[in-house]
């Protein structure tokens, strides 16, 4: 065959056939299940790639909470995946989006029973499990369906507890007995759990004083080696802090504590309990998230000076109370943590009082502060004062996010002033800051 005829020959499949496995695996990684199945029919090499463990270690299974023909195959495909590739799975996230009625929760419960049973038989290496926002206390969950689901989940955790490193059951909304039963499943084969990251925020139903339960404290005493713990403030007690000091002193690094106005939060916690925990866990960082808990007398009972606070978030959304003032909190309480605070988030309606000066002084006092987010009634010049202090080296922010509330619908003048501020400090902003500032009419 001469050179000209060789050039006219169509290219063969050798280019694809010779593609390195690492490149082919990356291509398969971007494909959905159906496209992967179709690609696996091309040749033997591609079929073998379909069963590469790297493609199936991470999985998010989403169940729609509303009846739809489009979502009808979600339940079947979830079970298909577990049967075919479940033994590769290491990280599993399950989402059940806003269940609409009792028939869908029943269908979800039956599917999960089969899925968890199959996965328990085929998998021996699951490291993380996340099932968030089930809200099992809603009326769409019948008692029998709820009990059956909890039974299936508890049996699965009992079997997989020896491998599981991360568990996220945020928003489960269980009773005290149900919640402790589920958590106890993790340590039923041995006297302790190996989970290092545990998220039980909103795990219990609203209004429960979990902190007074000996059963809960016994359950938490089984956790040894926790690195990160996320929970509600209505779970915090002196007994819990003592358990964490004794069983997790060498490992515990982060605590994330949510305090909601509807959860009991007026229990007495001794400062010496926090001091003991901070002393035993030398690198502990505590992060607080307050929702609608804004009054100084309530915050002062919770934010004790012995706590190594890293971040504080205070959110009241659009709620406004003329009898409530943020000034004592900004001037007297939060500066207590100026040596450890690194993140501050404020979202409140302060239409009845100006807080520009108090916020500015707090920011300057927190020398380690690198993240600042404020949604409040502010003067536009507040942003310029922060940027000016940043340029002088008086603060070292990496992120600055400000939403300036105003009572006027027209914001042309404020927008013009913000553009001018950005123009003057553009070099600083572009080089040092994740910067977002806007004006928002609060009508």
Q: What pLDDT digit, counting tens, does each position of 377-389 carry?
A: 999 999 999 999 9
Tokens for 149, please give them.
């689901």
pLDDT, tens digit, 9 for 90 and up, residues 98-117? 888 899 999 999 999 999 99
Mean pLDDT calculated for residue range 421-439: 97
Q: How many CB atoms lie within 10 A of CB 410?
A: 9
Burial of residue 237, with CB atoms counted within 10 A of its CB: 0-12 exposed, 13-18 middle, 19 or more buried: buried
Q: Is the pLDDT of residue 7 over 50?
A: no
Burial of residue 426, with CB atoms counted within 10 A of its CB: 0-12 exposed, 13-18 middle, 19 or more buried: exposed
- What is the structure's pLDDT at 44? 86
Mean pLDDT calculated for residue range 421-434: 97
Alpha-carbon separation of residue 31 from 23, 36, 200, 438 (angstroms): 13, 6, 33, 39
Mean pLDDT calculated for residue range 81-102: 91
Let me know: does 402 contact 437? Beta carbons within 8 Å. yes
- What is the structure's pLDDT at 19? 83
pLDDT, tens digit, 9 for 90 and up, residues 21-32? 888 888 888 988
pTM beyond 0.75, yes or no? yes
Helix axis angle for 412-424 and 380-392, nearest 10°, is 10
Q: Is the pLDDT of residue 69 over 70?
A: no
């Amino acid at each position: 065959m001469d050179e000209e005829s060789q050039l006219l020959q169509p290219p063969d499949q050798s280019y694809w056939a010779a593609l390195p496995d690492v490149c082919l695996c990356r291509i398969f990684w971007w494909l959905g299940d159906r496209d992967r199945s179709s690609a696996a029919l091309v040749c033997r090499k591609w079929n073998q790639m379909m069963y590469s463990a790297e493609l199936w270690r991470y999985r998010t299974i989403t169940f729609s909470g509303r009846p739809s023909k489009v979502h009808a195959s979600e339940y079947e495909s979830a079970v298909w995946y577990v049967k075919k590739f479940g033994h590769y799975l290491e990280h599993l996230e399950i989402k059940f989006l806003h269940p609409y009625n009792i028939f869908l929760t029943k269908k979800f419960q039956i599917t999960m029973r089969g899925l968890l049973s199959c996965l328990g038989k085929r998998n021996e290496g699951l490291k993380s499990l996340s099932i968030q926002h089930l809200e099992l206390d809603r009326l769409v969950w019948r008692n029998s369906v709820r009990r059956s689901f909890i039974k299936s989940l508890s049996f699965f955790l009992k079997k997989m507890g020896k491998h599981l490193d991360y568990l996220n059951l945020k928003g489960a909304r269980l009773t005290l007995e149900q919640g402790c039963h589920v958590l106890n499943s993790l340590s039923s084969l041995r006297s302790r759990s190996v989970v290092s990251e545990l998220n039980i925020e909103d795990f219990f139903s609203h209004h429960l004083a979990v902190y007074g339960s000996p059963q809960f404290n016994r359950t938490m005493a089984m956790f040894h080696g926790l690195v990160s713990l996320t929970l509600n403030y209505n779970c915090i007690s002196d007994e819990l802090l003592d358990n964490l000091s004794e069983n997790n002193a060498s490992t515990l690094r982060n605590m994330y504590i949510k305090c909601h106005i509807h959860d009991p939060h007026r229990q007495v916690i001794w400062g010496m309990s926090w001091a003991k925990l901070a002393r035993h866990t030398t690198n502990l960082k505590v992060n607080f998230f307050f929702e609608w808990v804004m009054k100084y007398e309530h915050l002062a009972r919770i934010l004790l000076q012995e706590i190594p606070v890293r971040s504080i978030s205070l959110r009241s959304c659009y709620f406004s109370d003329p009898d409530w003032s943020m000034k004592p909190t900004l001037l007297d309480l939060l500066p207590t943590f100026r040596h450890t605070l690194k993140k501050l988030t404020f979202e409140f309606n302060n239409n009845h009082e100006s807080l520009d000066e108090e916020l500015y002084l707090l920011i300057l006092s927190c020398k380690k502060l690198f993240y600042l987010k404020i949604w409040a009634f502010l003067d536009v010049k507040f942003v310029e004062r922060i940027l000016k202090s940043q340029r002088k080296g008086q603060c070292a922010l990496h992120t600055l996010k400000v939403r300036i509330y105003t009572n006027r619908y027209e914001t042309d003048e404020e927008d013009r002033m913000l553009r001018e501020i950005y123009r003057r400090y553009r070099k600083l902003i572009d080089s040092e800051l994740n910067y977002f500032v806007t004006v928002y009419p609060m009508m």
